[in-house]
Amino acid sequence: MAGQNIMNTHFDLNGSQLKDYGLDLIDVDWLKQLKKETLARLKTQSIPSKKDEEWRYTNIKPLIQKCFELAAKNSISNLKKDKPFIQKHSDNNIFIYYADGHFCFMGNLPSYIKTLRTSEDQMIFQTLLNYDVEKIHTPFADLNTLMLSDVLMIETLKNQKIDATIHIIICSDVEQNISPRLLVQLRENSSIRIFEHYLTSNSCVINSLTDINCEKNSQLDYYKIIDEQEQGYHLSLSNIRLARNSYLNLFSWDSGANISRNNINIDLVEKNASVNLNSLFSPKEKLHVDNQLKIKHLAEKCESSLDYRGILQDQSTGVFGGEVYVAQEARDTQSDMKNRNLLLSDDARINTKPVLEIYNEDVQCSHSATSGCLDNDKLFYLQSRGIEETDAMNILIRSFASEIIEKIKNSQMKRTFQEYLVQKLQ
């Protein structure tokens, strides 16, 4: 039974299970080799538990259990390319769906987007995935590699400014293990907009891995909505590297899952790189959202700004773990980290832990964390203007979220988030 495996301190992946992970079915030699290596490493790793500081507030056990259960089952979704909701590309919107372990789409993809399956030049995937192996050692990243059957790569050309939104929709209508893998390479002086949308309607385990490399003067506008059914599990790991003068702008909204865990690691490796993270998380019922951020200032004059807001209802729980590291050589660093939480029920819980680790004196760094219920003075102010109490409460909850959404500059994405707000917080 899979449950028994979990009780062990190490991943127990014996030979008989290998078939279940599809290793024998892979016809690409390098990928098979990569998976074998990954599997070997995974076996030596400890299973994370609440004893690990990083997992202190999230009970990972049920997730791991489900993950292995589903991996062995290998269920296949009925989703077909001809499903009516699959949209055609338009001038300003590219739609890519991830289902049944593969990326699919209508028509052709622009030349800057490739998938492992459709690409004739697999060398580049091989290089990038091997590069990952050097960089990532977490068990869940390894699991992603072990499970992956397709990879989506977005690689801009030098000076290429792409004024389209790349929609990546991860969807499923059956219970399955989903391991999307995304590689983003922004070459010098290029820019792009990506919108990742997680939409699953069954108790799936999503274990996504995204690698982003922004070269000199490049700009990435990155949006993410995680909207999953309550029985689902969501794990995502993003590793982001920012070179000189490059800029990352991230807006995300996580409505929670049984367990939803978002790890974002950002390295500001060269001068003047900057990152702006804005996020809302709004679990209801017994859902759980865990945000783990690690921002490393490794060069001078870089900026980071984090604004995370939680809206927690019922018995939901949330975690904010934010870590900003400033290296000795990162002079003239500016960093601001905020976490504000609205607790809408006596049973909702938030654990927040902002951490600054600074190794030089030439910095401007601040952090703040607040948690509380709706402000009675604001409530009274609205009621004194004739607005009913429940309406007033809703207005205040929405205004709390709107402050984040109002910062979105792209009008199309702003509208998308505004519509989502009306849908989620009514």
Partner 1 sequence: MNKKNSLLSINNLKVSIAEKIIINGLNLTINHGEVHAIMGPNGSGKSTLAKTLAGHPECEIQSGSISYLGKDLFDLSVEERANEGIFMGFQYPIEIPGLSNTAFLKAALNAKKKSQGDEEITAVDFLKELKHNAEVIGMDQAFLNRGVNEGFSGGEKKRNEILQMMMLKPRLSILDETDSGLDIDAMKTVANGLNSMRRKDSSFLLITHYDRLLGYIKPDFVHVLSKGQIIQSGDSTLANQLEEKGYEWLVKT
Q: Which residues bind partner 1 (CB under 8 A)?
A: 376-378, 380-389, 391-392, 395-396, 398-403, 406
In terms of CB distance, is 229 or 402 closer to partner 1? 402
In terms of CB distance, is 300 or 403 closer to partner 1? 403
Least separation in angstroms between residue 380's CB and partner 1 is: 6
Residue 138 CA neighbour count, 13 Å, CB half? 19
In terms of CB distance, is 16 or 390 closer to partner 1? 390
In terms of CB distance, is 2 or 396 closer to partner 1? 396
Contact between 309 and 282 (Cβ < 8 Å): no
Least separation in angstroms between residue 406's CB and partner 1 is: 7
Contact between 86 and 49 (Cβ < 8 Å): no
Helices (H), 114-272: 123-135, 139-147
Centre a 10 Å sphere on the Cβ of residue 21 and count the other Cβ atoms it contains: 20
Q: Which residues contact 409 (CB under 8 A, 6 or more apart)?
A: none
Question: d(Cα 320, Cα 289) in Å, to the nearest integer?
Answer: 9
Contact between 228 and 199 (Cβ < 8 Å): yes
Tell me which residue of 62, 68, 58, 63 sits closest to 17, measured CA to CA: 68
Least separation in angstroms between residue 403's CB and partner 1 is: 4
In terms of CB distance, is 248 or 392 closer to partner 1? 392
In terms of CB distance, is 214 or 306 closer to partner 1? 306
Least separation in angstroms between residue 29's CB and partner 1 is: 55
Least separation in angstroms between residue 306's CB and partner 1 is: 18
3-state secondary structure of 216: coil
Least separation in angstroms between residue 391's CB and partner 1 is: 7
Tokens read off for 278: 């804005």
